[in-house]
């Protein structure tokens, strides 16, 4: 099952890339709440890039799968007291937006950390992320921390049955990225946007990392 689903998603990603002339898209398999066995299954098919959203669960899976050549990203709400456990194990943190977390990373100066800033793109009270009007000042702070490498932005728009409704939010995130690049004279290579329901639209709007869970592993229980 996972094999067919994964192949079908890779094919859909390929088509969306061609349609939009977006050459650079990675598939992050979001394995949160799914068993180790399912991760192994996807790994054996060739998927090497996984994302988790809870620190404790991530650490358990990391330990259990240590011998495999997996790259792990952290995509969930991050508490500053968890930073020390994750910092040497994650490839990329997608969800930086709290100063307390940034401060904690700064203290661990022996570790270089790749981050994306999460933007609360639809200003939803239940979601994490920074509001647009605070993005520049927060970016300035992130750029001032020596052991942090800012690679881009991430967002989680509201869920819509009609995936076209996500498009304006994805376009918005891309334009925010372009504004930051201009303002700070930097290049940001990554836009983490698009999930099971809307990843093709996200790719058309310039996504470079699509975070797909249920479309690969099935419904979460």
HSE, CB side, 13 Å, CA atoms: give it for residue 176: 27
Q: What is the closest distance, in whole angstroms, from the C-beta atom of residue 116 to ligand PLP in the complex? A: 11
Closest residue to ligand PLP, judged by C-beta, is 213
Interface with ligand PLP by CB under 6 A: which range of 41-49, 109-117, 143-151, 208-216? 208-216
Report the alpha-carbon angle 91-128-206, nearest 5: 60
Query: Which residue, 4 or 67, is less far from ligand PLP as judged by CB?
Result: 4
Among 22, 53, 120, 166, binds ligand PLP (CB under 6 A): 53
The Cα-based distances of 47 to 8, 50, 179 in angstroms read: 13, 8, 33
Query: Which residue, 107 or 218, is less far from ligand PLP as judged by CB?
Result: 218
Interface with ligand PLP by CB under 6 A: which range of 107-115, 139-147, 175-183, 205-213? 205-213
Q: Which helix (H) or strand (E) holds 113?
A: strand 113-119
155 DSSP β-pair partners: 119
The Cα-based distances of 14 to 7, 34, 145, 176, 192 in angstroms read: 11, 25, 36, 25, 17
Among 2, 30, 101, 180, binds ligand PLP (CB under 6 A): 30
Among 12, 17, 26, 32, binds ligand PLP (CB under 6 A): 32
What is the 8-class DSSP label of residue 197? T
Binding site for ligand PLP (CB under 6 A): 30, 32, 53, 75-76, 156, 195-196, 211-215
């Amino acid at each position: 099952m996972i094999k067919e689903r994964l192949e079908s998603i890779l094919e859909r990603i390929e088509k969306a890339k061609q349609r939009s002339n977006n050459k650079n898209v990675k598939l992050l398999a979001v394995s949160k709440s799914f068993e180790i066995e399912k991760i192994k299954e996807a790994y054996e098919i060739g998927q090497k890039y996984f994302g988790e959203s809870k620190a404790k669960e991530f650490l358990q899976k990391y330990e259990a799968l240590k011998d495999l050549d997996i790259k792990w990203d952290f995509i969930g709400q991050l508490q500053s007291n968890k930073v020390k456990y994750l910092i040497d194990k994650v490839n990329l943190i997608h969800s930086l937006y709290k100063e307390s977390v940034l401060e904690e990373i700064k203290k661990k100066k022996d570790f270089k950390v790749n981050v994306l800033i999460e933007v609360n793109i639809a200003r939803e009270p239940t979601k994490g992320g920074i509001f647009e009007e605070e993005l520049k000042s927060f970016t300035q702070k992130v750029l001032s921390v020596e052991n942090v490498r800012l690679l881009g932005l991430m967002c989680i728009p509201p869920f819509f049955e009609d995936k076209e409704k996500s498009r304006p939010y994805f376009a918005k995130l891309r334009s925010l990225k372009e504004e930051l690049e201009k303002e700070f004279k930097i290049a940001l290579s990554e836009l983490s946007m698009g999930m099971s329901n809307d990843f093709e639209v996200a790719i058309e709007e310039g996504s470079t990392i699509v975070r797909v869970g249920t479309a690969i592993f099935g419904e979460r229980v």
